[in-house]
Structure 1
Amino acid sequence: MSGVLITGATSGIGKQLAQDYARQGWQVIACGRNEDVLDELSEMSTSITPLRFDLTDLEQTLAVLSELPFTPTLWILNAGDCEYIDDGVMDAKLMTRVMQINVLGMTNTIEAIQPHLKAGHRVAIVGSIASELALPRTEAYGASKAAVGYLARALRLDWASKGIDVTCVFPGFVATPLTEKNNFDMPMMISVESASQAIRRGLEKGVANLYFPVRFTWIIRLLGALPYRWQYQFVSRFFAPKRTKQ
């Protein structure tokens, strides 16, 4: 029996993954905070087992994940959130909220699942292509996803001797409730269905770093490989807000 645990399964990519894996015949543990959506998922398929907890609460996360209905071989750590810093005015509380969910929530989950991990398992950690190139307003989100990407690469090194594989996922823009809040152009956006398909295919192939959509993420990666001065000039010209004349 193939089994997968997915965090952030009550919205966006995570919800789509839970449904698609269940349709493929996988046993799915869907994790999230929204009880109504978890109930909806479990009613949708007998292959989906819901787990409700707040991954920013370490003790709760450890307790809930200490006993699972089965041991998955695939673990998709997808939960995350996005908030923006406006006009470069630092908001420490906003930064704390984003880091609490995207970084500390990730580490809480990893600590909770590590007693279950065995050789042959794969852990997929969902970052963002935003970590590859500094953009306006992304001080909190981009920094959190850069931390997540580094975390994934370091874990891959430490877990290799244990036979545990790590994949870091770098999505571009995906049409989800999270991106619906954005008030700027999002080029080459894809649907959650396409995102789910890309992730499932990539994980099946066992890739270490998964970028999609391919064209958009390659452009961002190429820009991110430029010297910082050139990156700054490019982003300032095409993305940065214009200065108002006094």
Structure 2
Amino acid sequence: MSDNNRDNDKTILITGGTSGIGKSLVIECMSKGEQVIACGRSQDKLDQLAKELPGVMTLCFDITDKTAIAKAIPNELTIDWAILNAGDCEYVKDVMNFDTALFERVIKVNLLAPAYLAEALIPKINTGGRLAFVSSSVTNLPFPQAEAYGASKAGLDYFAKSLAIDLKPHNIGVSLIHPGFVETPLTASNSFKMPMIINSDDAAKRIREGLCRGQSLIAFPRRFIFIIRLLKLLPEKLWQSFFNKDKA
């Protein structure tokens, strides 16, 4: 699919559309003349978004609630792209008191919710359309305290790759998005250094460009991804010793 800034026939649904990468995607796609449906769980935030961006359509629902999703999405809706961007991150701070409630929350938001959305949205995607999942570059390597987040995104990767095989005969493409560190309200709470971090507007541009090209994997920034993939080749013992050197 070629990029065309005058192509205003495309209808794009974006979850998590009121902040971070999602809001930047809404702005980026609307700037290209595309019809955008911004989804979120806060009606107040959606109303504010509609004031800021005249012409945006909005849908309010909780992505972890199958019933709410079914009620919110109109039967007659048809879309060209569905960008499933909404997600969450919680770290396991005390592994000796492992919190399964935390684990369940993260898995539900980052893995089960995209499955709920896929169930509702796949029949709405036009022939030649695309389903995109915002995952994470964290799936390349195991990181400390990321048991829940990493597992949820690794599961999402497999889900997306498997869907890509089964949706191809229906002429629906699937894109898996692997951002590095991006400045968002979610990453603002991180207490560790985030190398090569980019802003959400930059991330949105890269995502849209990749979707326009029909890329199955959209990973950025390139230098960060290259380093991560290179480090992935190191023996596991080296990784463990690196992360545990301050605990010795």
TM-score above 0.5, yes or no: yes
What's the offset of the Cα at 1:198? 0.6
In the aligned structure 2, how far is the partner of 1:7 from the partner of 1:52?
10
Q: Contact conserved, 1:77 with 1:106, CA < 8 A, in 2?
A: yes
In the aligned structure 1, how far is the partner of 2:236 from the partner of 2:218?
23
Q: Contact conserved, 1:66 with 1:112, CA < 8 A, in 2?
A: no
Given the superposition, is the C-alpha separation of residues 207 and 43 from structure 1 closer, same or farther in structure 2, using an over 3 Å criterion? same
What's the offset of the Cα at 1:16? 0.7
1:81 aligns with 2:88: yes
Runs (5+) with no aligned partner, structure 2: 1-8
In the aligned structure 1, how far is the partner of 2:202 from the partner of 2:58?
24
Identify which of 162, 172, 175 aligns with 1:154: 162
Q: What residue is the counterpart of 1:213 in the other structure?
A: 221
Identify which of 27, 33, 46 aligns with 2:41: 33
Matches within 5 A, 1:8-47: 8-47=16-55
Instruction: Give deviations 1:73-95, integer Å, cap 9, x for gaps.
Output: 01100010000001423210000
What's the offset of the Cα at 1:60? 1.0
Identify which of 100, 119, 124 aligns with 2:127: 119
Number of equivalent positions: 239
1:171 aligns with 2:171: no
1:83 is aligned with what amino acid? Answer: E
In the aligned structure 2, how far is the partner of 1:112 from the partner of 1:120?
18
Given the superposition, is the C-alpha separation of residues 232 and 169 from structure 1 closer, same or farther in structure 2, using an over 3 Å criterion? farther
Q: Contact conserved, 2:40 with 2:61, CA < 8 A, in 1?
A: yes
Q: Contact conserved, 1:120 with 1:164, CA < 8 A, in 2?
A: yes
What's the offset of the Cα at 1:2? 1.4
What's the offset of the Cα at 1:235? 4.8
* Secondary structure of 1:114's aligned partner: helix
Instruction: Give deviations 1:83-117, integer Å, cap 9, x for gaps.
Output: 00014232100001101100111111111112212
Given the superposition, is the C-alpha separation of residues 232 and 141 from structure 1 closer, same or farther in structure 2, using an over 3 Å criterion? farther
In the aligned structure 1, how far is the partner of 2:26 from the partner of 2:210?
16
1:86 is aligned with what amino acid? Answer: K
What's the offset of the Cα at 1:24? 1.4
Runs (5+) with no aligned partner, structure 1: none
Percent identity (aligned): 42
Q: What residue is the counterpart of 1:97 in the other structure?
A: 105
What's the offset of the Cα at 1:175? 0.4
Q: What residue is the counterpart of 1:242 in the other structure?
A: 246
* Secondary structure of 2:48's aligned partner: helix
What's the offset of the Cα at 1:125? 0.7
Matches within 5 A, 1:37-76: 37-67=45-75, 70-76=77-83
Q: Contact conserved, 2:79 with 2:126, CA < 8 A, in 1?
A: no
Relative to the length of structure 2, the TM-score reads 0.92
Instruction: Give deviations 1:117-167, integer Å, cap 9, x for gaps.
Output: 232011111100001100000000000000011111000001111110000
Given the superposition, is the C-alpha separation of residues 183 and 241 from structure 1 closer, same or farther in structure 2, using an over 3 Å criterion? farther
Instruction: Give deviations 1:39-64, integer Å, cap 9, x for gaps.
Output: 12211223211111001011111221
In the aligned structure 2, how far is the partner of 1:88 from the partner of 1:232?
19
In the aligned structure 1, how far is the partner of 2:159 from the partner of 2:226?
22
